[in-house]
Structure 1
Amino acid sequence: MSTATVAPTTSATVEFRSLRRQFGTTTALDGLDLTVEPGELLALLGPSGCGKTTALRILAGFETHDSGEVLVDGEDITRIPAHKRDAGMVFQSYSLFPHLTAADNVAFGLRMRGVAKAERRRRAQELLELVGLPQRAEHYPHQMSGGQQQRIALARALALQPRVLLLDEPLSALDAKVRLSLREEIRRLQQELGITTLFVTHDQEEALSMADRVAVLRAGRLEQCATPSELYSRPATAFVAEFVGTMSRIPCSRTADGQVEVLGRRHAVDGALPADGELHVLVRPENVELAPAADGPAQVIAASFLGAVTRLTVRLPDGTEIKSDLPTEAASALPLGTHATLTLPTRPVLVDRAPTA
């Protein structure tokens, strides 16, 4: 994108309070409580049907809620129509007007507000420079690539200088290279403008790389809202642990003093220990250490080269499969079929009930 700049926007605080939305027998939102701080980029992350897009559409005014409140800077906006909510939205499908040029698409909202033609053109050109497409001003959507169309959609959303920017999976229709480039540019632009932004995605890598905080939703409820590093290293629930990043499950047994025994060693528990049922320890691949040993209980059954790191999969005698990320040089000492010992860090472990069949 261009180095052109525009004045920072006036960012807002957004609050969802006990928000509920039902579609027939389906509960889309089940008492959502969440606050987005001024100037923050917060990602709503979760599987399909978890309620993330419903929350975004309710904030935009395109959907109604059954109960609860949506506040912007402390004001309940429930009765304010969508076009007066001071929010800019970028859709997954771009939604550009095919009969309008890029400049006219960007200026469309300004025209609807009665802004003079000269000012509309000036503002559109300024925004096209901001998103790095000043040379496309007179081009129509069909003459531009998907990435260029999405930049035009972003410029259009910013034209009215909204207090809140809403992004509904805006990168999912793009190829991997363009998606990577555009997410970096969106993040840089959001930081430059200081605009409060909600970003809906089901892609954990997008959420972790772009957001100040990530809110993980499941079945209409908030599982955890935290910084990317905290979400990854200190997941509050087993669902978050397995949804964000890769986790292996290892059977364990409880001890009389409230710890667990796994792979022959005792570990303190991070969080609550389930009161009953079979238990599993959840562990990330980078926390699993392997060492070749002829009498080791684990056997290497797969290897995936990831550059500086190679991900090995080992199988225990009971059939449990565990992933381990090792420096590629170290992994070369553990070819397929090698037996190995397996060690976990001494710190507390996350424990969950074993899934039912």
Structure 2
Amino acid sequence: MTTTISAGDSTDTRAGVGLRLGGLRRAFGSTTALDGLDLDIAPGELVALLGPSGCGKTTALRIIAGFETADTGELLMGGEDVTGLPANKRDIGMVFQSYSLFPNMTAAENVAYGLRVRKASKAERAARAAELLELVGLPGRDKHYPHQLSGGQQQRVALARALAVSPRVLLLDEPLSALDAKVRLQLREEIRRLQLELGITTVFVTHDQEEALSMADRVAVMKDGRLEQCAPPNELYERPATPFVAEFVGTMNRLPGVVREGGTVEVLGRRLPVTTGQGAHPEAGRTVDVLLRPEGLQVHTGEQDGGEHATVRVATFLGSTTRLHLTTDSGAEAKADLPSWEAGSLTPGTRCTLTAHDNPVLVEERDNPVLAEKTAS
């Protein structure tokens, strides 16, 4: 993907470059931050690094930026090995969580700072700053100082500053976490629009799954310094490779089941096909936890055959859907999402029958599995 952006009388044509993180390892004393991270990012792609605190996502971003050095492994940018290249030689733009604007500079001066360091002319700096401030939705704010801008406006200035030098790669380190919900939603849409318009390869670090799923071409879920799965948002949600991914991305139920012959599992009175993800297929007769999304459950009023009887404990109205919190007669807890028009009669205390849609499910063996004949009726 190639983008042409004019600044004054100059034209800058850039193509997004690919990134390769090959076997990156980084330890801080006895703590392993990255444990052999392998990840390929295509030119012009936006990849979100998603995971809990301490999973290694920020360390990976800092290694790409050149602020940290990997103990082992390599970093390729556009096919070039930049592993040992200092940060100021990598042609990377970075936006931080804390904005990091110079308080004694106006918005325009902040945006133009990188160009000033690169000895661009005053006219070129002014033209580029004005262009980018308009691009991020801040025309007329060029003479405002950071303390005169809202948090969302400051982050837009920080984004414009990162883009001013036309970097080959843009890095975003949880840039929206300090903003309120409405501004966060607006700015994530703006960032995505700009990224697509400019065609710039972007790596976005976040612990917010909604941000990752709504913005990224692919989401890389990390745990304990390793990559659990990297896939487009819909695949990550619908076909998680591991139980960790399944539970970290979206809401997931864990319901008891028994593995049967033919690659199926018996749960809620039905046999469902099993998808193994990255794990081994449990042998027949093992008790397992069956992972089911709330929308993968069916709830029928009254005690019917062909499912498990349950009681509605809480009904939470969410607009077009209602989330039911249920307890089965065997003691299992479950959440089910139904269209609100369908859930109207399922008030707290209602007896019902719980079953599942006939879709492949991910299973995980329990710590102390028992043979099916001890539990099957």
* TM interval, short-chain normalised: over 0.9
1:233 match: 238
| C-alpha displacement of 1:222 | 0.5
1:291 match: 300
2:122, 2:242 → 1: CA distance? Answer: 54
2:129, 2:120 → 1: CA distance? Answer: 12
Q: Percent identity?
A: 65
2:171 match: 166
User: Counterpart of 2:213 in structure 1: which amino acid?
Assistant: L
CA contact (8 A) 1:8 1:192 kept: no
Q: Which of 266, 269, 274 lines up with 1:264 in the alignment?
A: 269
1:291, 1:264 → 2: CA distance? Answer: 13
Q: Which of 37, 56, 66 lines up with 1:61 in the alignment?
A: 66
Q: Which of 20, 35, 50 lines up with 1:15 in the alignment?
A: 20
User: Counterpart of 2:75 in structure 1: which amino acid?
Assistant: V
| C-alpha displacement of 1:195 | 0.3
2:70, 2:361 → 1: CA distance? Answer: 39
CA contact (8 A) 1:106 1:159 kept: yes
Higher relative contact order (CA 8 A, sep 6+): 1
CA contact (8 A) 1:8 1:195 kept: no
Is residue 274 of structure 1 aligned with residue 279 of structure 2? no
What does 1:1-357 correspond to in 2, within 5 Å? 9-271=14-276, 272-275=280-283, 278-294=287-303, 297-354=309-366
Partner of 1:158, secondary structure, is helix
| C-alpha displacement of 1:118 | 1.2
| C-alpha displacement of 1:274 | 3.2
Say what the alpha-carbon RMSD is for the aligned residues.
Answer: 1.5
CA contact (8 A) 2:259 2:282 kept: no
User: Counterpart of 2:293 in structure 1: which amino acid?
Assistant: R
1:279, 1:124 → 2: CA distance? Answer: 58
| C-alpha displacement of 1:318 | 2.5
Higher strand share: 2
Moved more, 63-72 or 271-280: 271-280
- Structure 2: runs of 5+ lacking an equivalent: 7-11, 369-377
1:280, 1:350 → 2: CA distance? Answer: 9
TM-score (norm 2): 0.91
User: Counterpart of 2:331 in structure 1: which amino acid?
Assistant: G
User: Counterpart of 1:98 in structure 2: which amino acid?
Assistant: P
State the aligned residue count.
352
TM-score (norm 1): 0.95
| C-alpha displacement of 1:273 | 2.3
